[in-house]
Amino acid sequence: MPDLFSGVENRGRYRCIAGVDEVGRGPLAGDVVAAAVILGDDVPEGVTDSKKLTARRREQLAEAIKESARGWSIARASVDEIDSLNILQASLLAMHRAVTALAQQPDLVLVDGNHLPRWSYEAQAVIGGDALEPAIAAASILAKVQRDSEMAAYDSQYPGYGFARHKGYPTREHMAALAALGATPLHRKSFAPVRRLLAPANLS
């Protein structure tokens, strides 16, 4: 994995660097989940963008990250917060919560993407950071494993939707189930496919 810090000025003054990433901006259902990680000296081999890993490998790496990291935390923004704030602001809120929940507060935060939460931390937005910076990649793995496990658990609570398979993303299976069964409390009412389903013309 490339060394992102080669272009950062005064690198030596950063004693504690955290990476933060979120998972779940695209789904029609479920919370958006964020993780923040301060890596230790020994970074688990294979840490990279969570989307490039199998589910089993992500789970293995998540355990290794938790054991070896100097600090980590997981936070979220709820479906209600997504609907009231919009998905971008809810994602930033989840990331803010993840960083502030760290036991050791960082002096630099690297955020995946091109937006930064509103906070007092010195921070840098890194487009494609989950493929460039190990701390962001580690955060992406923790967030993905956490959210996927939650959506799989909802599969038995809301049978027929296939949450264990698609994790709330708008697959053909999910769209068909949504049309046939209606929306659950997990569904984001502000997202167009759910909003259209809940429109008055569809409730008669």
**Which CATH number fits the domain that encloses residue 33?**
3.30.420.10
Burial of 79 (0-12, 13-18, 19+ CB in 10 A): buried
pTM beyond cutoff 0.85: yes
Distance CA(25)–CA(107), nearest Å, equals: 27
> Which tens digits make up the pLDDT trace of 81-124?
999 999 999 999 999 999 999 999 999 999 999 999 999 999 99
In a domain, 6, yes or no: no
pLDDT for the residue 3: 46
> Which tens digits make up the pLDDT trace of 123-149?
999 999 999 999 999 999 999 999 999
Amino acid in the structure at residue 164: A
In a domain, 108, yes or no: yes
In a domain, 44, yes or no: yes
In a domain, 177, yes or no: no
Q: Residue 17's domain spans which residues?
A: 13-152
> Which tens digits make up the pLDDT trace of 14-57?
889 999 999 999 999 999 999 999 999 999 999 999 999 999 99
In a domain, 114, yes or no: yes
**Tally of domains in the chain:** 1
Tokens 């020994």 belong to 42
In a domain, 48, yes or no: yes
In a domain, 193, yes or no: no
Categorize the per-residue pLDDT at 202 as very low, low, confident or very high, splitting at 50, 70 and 90: low
In a domain, 29, yes or no: yes
Token reading at 3: 């060394």
Distance CA(82)–CA(144), nearest Å, equals: 18
Element housing 106 (H / E)? none
DSSP for 24-60, written as a single string = -SS-SBS-EEEEEEE--SSPPTT---GGGS-HHHHHH
Token reading at 18: 């955290």
CA nearest to 79, candidates 113, 125, 32: 32
